Structure formats: structure tokens, C-alpha cells
Amino acid sequence: MTNTFMVIFLTFHQYVITVVFFHPSCPQSVDMSAAASCLLTEDQFLCSICLDVFTDPVTIPCGHNFCKTCITKHWDINVPYQCPNCKKVFYTRPELQVNTFISEMAAQFRQSAQQKASSSSSSEQQVSEPEVPCDVCTGTKLKALKSCLVCLESYCETHLQRHLTASGLKRHQLIDPVENLEGRMCPKHDKLLELFCKTDQMCVCILCIVSDHKTHDVVPLKEGYEGKKAKLEGEIQQMIQKRRLKIEEIKHSVELSKEDADRETADGVQVFTALKESVERSQAELIDTIKEKQRKTEKQAEDFIKELEQEISELKKRSTEVEQLLQSEDHLHLPQSFTSVNAAPPIKDWTEVSVHISSYEGTVVRAVNQLEETLRKQMKKLLAEAELKRVQQSAVDLTLDPDTANPWLILSDDGKQVSCGNVKNNLPDNPERFTCYGNVFSKQSFSSGRFYHEVQVKGKTEWGLGVARESINRKGLITLAPQYGYWTILLRNENEYKALAGPAVRLSLQSRPEKVGVFVDYEEGLVSFYDVDAAALIYSFTGCFFTEKLYPYFSPCNNNAGKNSAPLVISPVNSTD
């Protein structure tokens, strides 16, 4: 090879070296595809002693290569000197020759391995598809670049070349490498699954559409893939959107909860502040009472002492006069003067006189009992006010429904007032209308949650308020009771209040309500009535079971020759936060 030289191209790919030899004198005549090549694997660069890539490789006379340190230690122990591979014996210790070519190859293998290890480490956290091995490679299987749906094989870069160059193979369908190509064949007809049956939502072959899927909606597999992909993407987007909406719903719930918490905190602070002020006021009154009693005792004692001191002064004066009389030896003068001394103002008899000491026994007990009663009433009032504020947060805007109004009723144009007239209106008898009683529903109905409204009843001698379910009887005689779908309270004869709980419950109210609040908690099964001005609970229906729409119910009752002509008025809710 004096007229030629060797050019070596090294391509590192999964520890494989391709060595190609070219003739320099006629490069045009060299067919690249036919160039001689040899594939060297990492196994050929491993020391047979340490089983690792060569470090400082040396060659011994028989031609085998080892790490310099490995063969040196081996011959230090084993004499005579023998090759670990071919077992050739050397009677004198051979001189070790450094193999520069193997040394360079081993160094590059080691560098490539380190780079691959580093790349593999950095991509451990990434999700990747499993590598598909080449079906043609013998020995170490290289990674496949493509899979052929006709040949049902996967090919690495080298073995894929024929499919890219040979005219007969260029028509084959290549896809990204996949495992189990046999699974892409129809198990019944052994044909490629290249169609998609939209009717049965499954992949089929060309023969399936003339047998089991003859009348089905069949499209090419790519079209079916695109349809499935679009549907899946749409479903995923819908799921994402639903979850985003759920996040917003949860955030809104948290905001509402915070508002409720802030409101409850404010109400609680108000209640306890008022109670604290009552306790402090009662304490101050108790102290003032005790001090006033003590002041009176001290005043009485001061008055007694002052009076006694005055009498002592008088007595001293008289004592002086008596002493002067006693010094006289005139027997006549003494009896005559003694009479004048006795004629002086009489001295008070202090025998039964004493300071009245106020008794404090029971003072604290009475004060505490009085405080307890005051707090009980105040707590009831404050809690009722707080409760009323709470339910007022559920206020709704109602208007009366003329299609449900009894013909004798008169509704205002804005649908906020209703009263009973003296003339029956000529109205169609539609199914929703009440015929025998002066009742009317609101247009609004409720089948969940909470709602609250207020009705002015000032000036009326009779009225009825509450809620009723949608399916109640509106024709003929009506029984107002929960078992018949009504939850109502009413006023009769100016001062007779009743809750129609079946049987009716007589209500004893502290004052006549002028405005009544109606609150419903659908899920809780609660219907409550409040005296708005007094902030007092009138009555509650509890443990109710609602299964259909509820309508607010209004009954202004009969006109009673003008005595009950005042209207029921749906009033705006003014909650004082």
C-alpha cells in the first residue's frame, strides 16, 4: 500500500465506530454505499482482565491488548508469563508496547460514554417513549428510526437506507418506530388495520368493510385518528374548562364564606360589646348604690355627732353656772337659782338613739339577678337583630303574578301591592288562578337556596303570608296547612295571630307587627317569620321537606266594609349592616 493511504472517519453512535477506507487516487470510483466498513463495538475496547474500557492500553507479543496496570499486576503474580487470552507462554517477561490507536479509541469511547451518561441523567425527569430496537441488527440492537407497516419491521439508520433508495421499497408506508407491529394486523383477515369504523369505534382492515362492517361508517385510519384526536382534545379542553369554572366557583365560595365570616364577626362583636356595656353599667350602678347607702349612714352619724356636741356645749355652760351657785354660802340664793337652772331647755334622751347601719346583704345577689334578667332580654333582642340581619342578606325582589290573583283582588301596576276590592273582576279562569279565596302568588318561584322578603301589613285587621308549593289546589275550598302544601301565618280580628301548622298555633306577640319578614331555607327545610321593626322572631316551621317549586303567598283577606282596605305592600329590604 505504498501508493495509497487510509482515511478513517469515526462516527460515535451508541458506542459504535464505523471505519471506512477510501482509495485516494480515484475517489470518484469509490461507491460510498459500497465502501468497506466495519462495526466496532465497546466490547472490543474492553480489557479482558478488569472488564472495563482500556486505560493506557499495551500490546504483548501475541497481539492481544490489556491495560498496562492490569497486565503488569497479572505478571507480577503469575510466573511464567502467560497471555490471559490465548494462554501463550513467554519464558522471559515481554516488553510492553503502548498501542496508540487503541488508546485513542478507548479514550473517545470513554468520553462518549460520559456524555451519554450525562445526557441520560439530565433527561431522567422527562417522559419519553421507549426505544424500539432495529429488527435487522445482529448482536447489539441499534435504536430504530422508522417502522414499516408493509414489512412489519423496524429499522435503524443503516438498515433504513434501502427503504429510502430502492424503488420498490419507497412505496412502503413508514411511521415513527413502534413496538408490536403484529398488533397492527387484523386478527381475522391478517391484513393491515388501515381503516376506522366510526360506528363501532374500532380499527378495521380492507376486508372487514365487506363483511362485518359492510353498512358501517368507515373512514381512512388517518381521518379516524384526526377525528378521535379532535374529539379527545375537545373533551380535554372541556374538562379543563369545567375545572377552571370549578376553581372560580370554589374561589367565589371562599369569598362568600369570608363575607359571611366578616359579617358574623361584626355581629358577634356588636352583641358582646353591648353585653359588656350592660355588665359595666350594672357594675357601676351596684357600686353607686353601695356608695349612696354608705353616704347616708355617714350623713346620719355626722348629724348625731353635731347635735351631741351642741348638747355637750350646753351642758358645760350649765355646769359652770351650777359650780358658781355651789360656791355661794347664801342658803336662800341656792334654792332659788337652782329652780332657774332646771328651767333650761331639756336635754335629749340618747338612750335609744343609734346610727342606722345599712345592710349590704343580698345587694350583690340582687344586682346579679337583675343583671342576668337584663342580659337575657338584651341577648334575646341582640341575637334576634343579628339573625334578622343574616336572613336579610338573602333578600329577593318580588312582584305579584296577576295570573294567579283571585278576581276580587286589586293589584298595583308595579305588582308590589295587593288589596281586596268590592267588585269582582272579569278575569279568565286559568289553572293558576285562585277562585274561592283572596290569594295571590308572586311571579318568582324558588327550588333551592335561601330567599327572604318583607311585606308591610300596617293598618290591616286581617292578612295571611307565607309560601306554598307549586302543585297546591287553587280551586274551591283550601286548607292552609303544611300537609296541603302551605306554610303560613295569619292575623284575624285585629289581634289574633296564628301559625297554621295543622293544627293552628296561637301566637302571643309583644307588639303588633307593621312589617313582616318571610325567610325560607329550602335545603334546611325552614320557613321563618319576623317582626321587622321589633327585630323579633314570630314563628318558624322547621323540619319541612320541599321537593318542588315554592311560591311566596299573599292574602290581603276580605275588605270588611273598608275596615281592612289597607293593601299588603312588598317593601324593599333595608338591612342595617
Helix/strand/coil (H/E/C) assignment for every residue in 318-386? HHHHHHHHHHCCCCCHHHHHHHHHHCCCCCCCCCCCCCCCCCCCCHHHHHHHHHHHHHHHHHHHHHHHH
* pLDDT score for 571: 95
Q: Which comes out higher in pLDDT, residue 498 or 365?
A: 498
pLDDT grade for 341, boundaries at 50, 70 and 90: low
The SS3 assignment for 249 reads helix
pLDDT tens by residue, 72-84: 888 888 777 888 8
pLDDT tens by residue, 223-235: 877 887 888 888 8
pLDDT grade for 346, boundaries at 50, 70 and 90: low
Q: Which comes out higher in pLDDT, residue 386 or 111?
A: 386
* pLDDT score for 102: 76
The three cell numbers of residue 433 are 288562578
Q: Cis bond leading into 335, ω under 30°?
A: no
Summary mean pLDDT of the chain: 82
Find the range with the poorest average confidence among 45-49, 162-166, 469-473: 45-49
- Phi and psi at residue 161, to the nearest 5°: -55, -40
- Phi and psi at residue 375, to the nearest 5°: -65, -40
The SS3 assignment for 169 reads helix
Whether 45 has a pLDDT exceeding 80, the answer reads no
pLDDT grade for 21, boundaries at 50, 70 and 90: very low
* pTM (two decimals): 0.48
* pLDDT score for 514: 95
Whether 487 has a pLDDT exceeding 50, the answer reads yes
Q: Which of 45, 92, 48, 89 is nearest to 70 (CA)?
A: 48
CA dist 118 and 121 (Å) reads 5
Q: Which comes out higher in pLDDT, residue 365 or 329?
A: 365
CB 273 within 8 A of CB 373: no
Task: Find the mean pLDDT for residues 344-351.
Answer: 70
CB 433 within 8 A of CB 406: yes
Whether 134 has a pLDDT exceeding 80, the answer reads yes
pLDDT grade for 35, boundaries at 50, 70 and 90: very low
Please name the helix (run of DSSP H) or strand (run of DSSP E) that holds residue 570, with its range, or none.
strand 568-571
In the beta sheet, which residues pair with residue 219?
Answer: 196
CB 484 within 8 A of CB 472: yes
pLDDT grade for 183, boundaries at 50, 70 and 90: confident
Q: Which comes out higher in pLDDT, residue 122 or 108?
A: 108
* pLDDT score for 575: 67
* pLDDT score for 529: 97
The three cell numbers of residue 507 are 301566637
* pLDDT score for 485: 94
